[in-house]
Structure 1
Amino acid sequence: MVPTSSSEKAFTRSLLDVLIRAGLIAVLVLFCFEIFSPFRDLMLWSLILAITLYPLQERLKGPLGQKDGRIATLIVLVAIVVLMVPIYLLVTSIADSVEHAMTIIRDGKFHIPPPADSVAEWPLVGKSISAVWLQASTDLPDLTAKYLPQIKHFSVGFLAKLAGVGMGFLTFIFALIIAGIFMAYGESGRRSAIQIASRVSDPGKGPKIAELCTATIRAVALGVVGIAFIQMLLVGIGFVLKGVPGAGLLALAVLLLGIMQLPATLITLPVIAYVFATEGASTVTIIFAIYVFIAGLVDNVLKPLLLGRGVDVPMPVVLIGALGGMVTSGILGLFIGPVVLAVGYQLFWQWVEDQPPNRPDVPPTL
């Protein structure tokens, strides 16, 4: 048996100590993550709101004094009041739409016209659609009974989505309140962010990394989420004043399309066509069409003003972040996803471009 030297014993003991400490730290981190994970999206959204609204708090310090807590409370209260308007309109629109649909069904006024002969000539699916459409126009109860399981499944899924939207709005309100607390301690929070960034990288790069993350969050939050919210308000006001059925849901769809970087004309043009088809051409409908069409294009004017400030984030990054966030975290992830992915994208390219000097094997950055 080969004797073990004292140095080998010391190395083995030291390695065992390191592994035990690393294991204990890993267990502690795992428990901390499990405890914090239910509040992850809420805290992320609160941090995003606080960073986005903090410049407004700085501007209000002069007219309203130097009390950060008082100014942050005022901003949160005004924001909640502003948010209550579209939420109220959305809930009212959904309730009115459901009541209107139930009234039509109860009075027996609901009737589906038969399909045109050209429907059957559509490629691949024309005959199937024409047959189902014809049965719906002649014998709707039997058709409903035939597809009752699918209708129930769709209804349950739709109600679950609406519940998710409502929960998302409620979480947003709580996130706004927590953001107000963050803003009340904004200066100490800024110093803490620089300290964390300096500890992760090095003291020389910490302030630059913190500034990059802050600029990215503000640019995406204002240039993507903010513009989509403004566009939703403008289009939704037109829908509500005109009395378009389901105005709240249509306005919410405009918000979702705006965050996913899709044109709002996918909603506004069909609505304009519906208004002209049901009410005809008049002064009111023409004014409505012009207003809604312009409101649907307002993002093309606001994006260069808001998104162009600070950092340049490619639109595919925003789209992937919105879709991925919605899949992983629901309606709230639709807002958080673009911001988080944009920050990660900027930090990655900052790391790529930050090459050590005097390395001949690394080509210069163009």
Structure 2
Amino acid sequence: MMSNDRLLIQILLLSLLGASLWVLAPFVSALFWAAVLAFASWPLMRLLTRWLSGRQTVAAAVLTAGWMLLVAVPLVLLGLNMADHLRDLNALIHDLQDAGLPPAPAWLVEIPLIGDWLRDTWRELDEQGTALFDALRPHLGFLGNWLLGRSAQIAGGMIELALSLVLVFFFYRDGPRLSAFVHSVLERLIGRRADHYLELVAATIQRVVNGVIGTAAAQAALAGIGLAIAGVPGVLPLALLTFVLSLIPMGPPLVWIPATVWLVGQEAYGMAIFLAVWGTFVISGVDNVLKPYLISRGGNLPLVVVLLGVFGGILAFGFMGLFLGPTLLAVAYSLLNDWVGKAEEQKAAETGGPVL
């Protein structure tokens, strides 16, 4: 009878747990990002709490307000910047439809070997401009739908980001209690190895955060260099905006692509080509090299495991996979090492030989 009662209690607890997860499912992503942000900035929270004489709630409110200002202002600037560039792009398309292409730039004709061919191609495009726009018109609807879908996706991401910034206050305020609760649960599940795996997860997330922030700083610096060389105004605000947008997938192109379009509108075609190449292969390309290196630096994981964790995690879980992928592989790698180590210890004990 006691066994049946215990089984019934376990079923009820599992059902309650499943129902709770179902309720929290729409907020999983926002909770995840709030937890990562709170963990990454916890040293700052600890310092601010000390300055405020231990008033943790006030420190949490101040730090949360700071994050809102830090994130909200660049996003507003981005919206204004994108609106201006879209108006410029629309005006440029209408000008091309009405007046055609401007005369071919002198530097284009002076390119060795292919200069004459480029000039003739430019002239043909100018002469066939109307036919070209007529041919492209059926595809503009698909482009509009794609842009609409991306806009809806970005809007959903903004709402999720706003919710994360609200939830991070509670992670700051209740961080120690949450940490103690997680430690108690893991200790109940896996015993004395709970501290080891908590440290492993914390170290992996910290390295990922360092990789993300370090890569964002590098992309911001490279964007500033490219924009300055191309002669785009407002280099410093655009570089800061690149830093913020580097924290999301495909963020930096939201800065250098409108800047390239602006250069085309100013008839600076050479600098537009330079900025497009610089943005594609340098600003955006550094993300694929620097981020895995910084994440793997200082850890015991092999670089190939980190690479698989980063890229496989993104493919499997979206941007959350940037943190989940390496963390899951780190825990799995450690579990396998523990399992192999125990097997070797057991074998050595049976044979009386040393453990290698």
Q: Same fold (TM over 0.5)?
A: yes
Shift of 1:196: 1.7
Q: In structure 1, how many angstroms separate the alpha carbons of the residues matched to 2:130 and 2:53?
A: 67
Contact between 2:186 and 2:194, CA under 8 Å: does it hold in 1? yes
Q: 2:325 aligns with which of 325, 336, 341?
A: 341
Could you tell which deviates more after superposition, 46-55 or 165-174? 165-174
Q: In structure 2, how many angstroms separate the alpha carbons of the residues matched to 1:249 and 1:164?
A: 24
Work out whether 1:63 is the aligned partner of 2:66.
no
Residue of structure 2 in register with 1:169 after alignment: 158
Q: In structure 1, how many angstroms separate the alpha carbons of the residues matched to 2:157 and 2:99?
A: 34
Residue of structure 2 in register with 1:315 after alignment: 307
Q: In structure 1, how many angstroms separate the alpha carbons of the residues matched to 2:170 and 2:347?
A: 50
Shift of 1:347: 0.9
Relative distance call for 1:179 and 1:250 in structure 2 (3 A) is: closer
Q: 1:153 aligns with which of 142, 145, 167?
A: 142
Structure 2 counterparts to residues 52-201 of structure 1, below 5 A? 52-107=40-95, 108=97, 111-112=100-101, 137-201=126-190
Residue of structure 2 in register with 1:242 after alignment: 232
Relative distance call for 1:227 and 1:365 in structure 2 (3 A) is: farther
Q: In structure 2, how many angstroms separate the alpha carbons of the residues matched to 1:176 and 1:35?
A: 20
Percent identity (aligned)? 19
Contact between 1:50 and 1:179, CA under 8 Å: does it hold in 2? yes
Relative distance call for 1:80 and 1:164 in structure 2 (3 A) is: same
Structure 2 regions of 5+ residues with no counterpart?
109-119
Structure 2 counterparts to residues 264-343 of structure 1, below 5 A? 278=268, 308-309=297-298, 312=301, 314-326=306-318, 334=319, 336-343=320-327
Q: In structure 1, how many angstroms separate the alpha carbons of the residues matched to 2:311 and 2:295?
A: 17
Could you tell which deviates more after superposition, 31-40 or 302-311? 302-311
Relative distance call for 1:178 and 1:197 in structure 2 (3 A) is: same
Q: In structure 2, how many angstroms separate the alpha carbons of the residues matched to 1:365 and 1:175?
A: 48
TM-score, L = length of structure 1: 0.66
Relative distance call for 1:154 and 1:361 in structure 2 (3 A) is: farther
**Which deviations, in whole Å up to 9, do the C-alpha atoms of 1:18-58 show, x marking residues without a partner?**
5x777666654543333221111111111111111112212
Relative distance call for 1:254 and 1:192 in structure 2 (3 A) is: closer
Could you tell which deviates more after superposition, 347-356 or 155-164? 155-164
Residue of structure 1 in register with 2:116 after alignment: none
Aligned residues between the structures: 315
Structure 1 regions of 5+ residues with no counterpart?
1-9, 117-129, 327-333
Shift of 1:251: 6.4
What's the Cα RMSD here?
5.0
Contact between 2:222 and 2:283, CA under 8 Å: does it hold in 1? no
Could you tell which deviates more after superposition, 192-201 or 162-171? 162-171
Shift of 1:14: 6.7
| Bigger proportion of residues as helix | 2
Relative distance call for 1:62 and 1:359 in structure 2 (3 A) is: same
Contact between 2:224 and 2:239, CA under 8 Å: does it hold in 1? no
- Give the letter for the 2:317 counterpart: G
